[in-house]
């Protein structure tokens, strides 16, 4: 019985000490889920609620960013966040996502002069992923100093 508990302890330690690549992969999986949420909310708001494209897009972005923050705080950056949701971290995360949105838009616009728009959009998705992950990893969910005894 002691052997399985050691294995579980080792698996938990490995999960918490995972490489930056695994964090990026986890962040990407959360991003895929939230892209589907964004698309679904946008479609609902535009087609069923009759909102304008801009209003529907802002609404869907807000829902997706909120879901992304929760999932990333509880999974990808669980060690850094202490698996706690904080309003300050949420606003930092949302602000960092705005930076990704700006990077995405600028990239697709510039790339459209050099390559077909859809190719530019794929490049822009990669650029915004790098911006969003970097800001989340180094700013929003940065490793905090260990707290002393309480």
Question: Residue ranges of the domains in the chain?
Answer: 20-140
- Give 29 or 128, the one with higher predicted confidence: 29
State pLDDT tens for residues 119-136: 777 777 778 788 877 887
Q: Cα(96)–Cα(136) distance, rounded to whole angstroms?
A: 7
Query: What 3-state DSSP class applies to 14?
Result: helix
Q: Cα(132)–Cα(129) distance, rounded to whole angstroms?
A: 5
For residue 4, name the pLDDT band (cuts at 50, 70, 90). Answer: low
pLDDT value, residue 150: 43
For residue 24, name the pLDDT band (cuts at 50, 70, 90). Answer: confident
- Give 57 or 75, the one with higher predicted confidence: 75
Burial 62-80 (b: 16+ CB within 10 A, else e): ebbbebbbebbbebbbbeb
pTM of model > 0.85? no
State pLDDT tens for residues 60-102: 888 988 999 999 888 888 777 787 888 988 888 888 788 877 8
- Give 14 or 35, the one with higher predicted confidence: 35
pLDDT value, residue 18: 58
């Amino acid at each position: 019985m002691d052997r399985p508990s050691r294995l579980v302890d080792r698996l938990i330690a490995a999960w918490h000490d995972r490489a930056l690549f695994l964090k990026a992969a986890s962040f990407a999986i959360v991003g895929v889920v939230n892209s589907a949420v964004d698309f679904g909310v946008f479609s609902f708001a535009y087609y069923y609620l009759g909102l304008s494209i801009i209003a529907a897009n802002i609404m869907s972005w807000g829902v997706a960013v909120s879901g992304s923050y929760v999932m990333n705080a509880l999974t990808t950056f669980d060690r850094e966040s202490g698996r706690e949701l904080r309003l300050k971290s949420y606003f930092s995360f949302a602000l960092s996502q705005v930076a990704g949105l700006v990077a995405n838009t600028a990239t697709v616009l510039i790339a459209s002069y050099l390559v077909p728009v859809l190719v530019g959009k794929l490049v822009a998705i990669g650029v915004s992923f790098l911006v969003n992950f970097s800001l989340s990893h180094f700013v929003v969910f940065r490793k905090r100093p260990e707290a002393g005894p309480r």
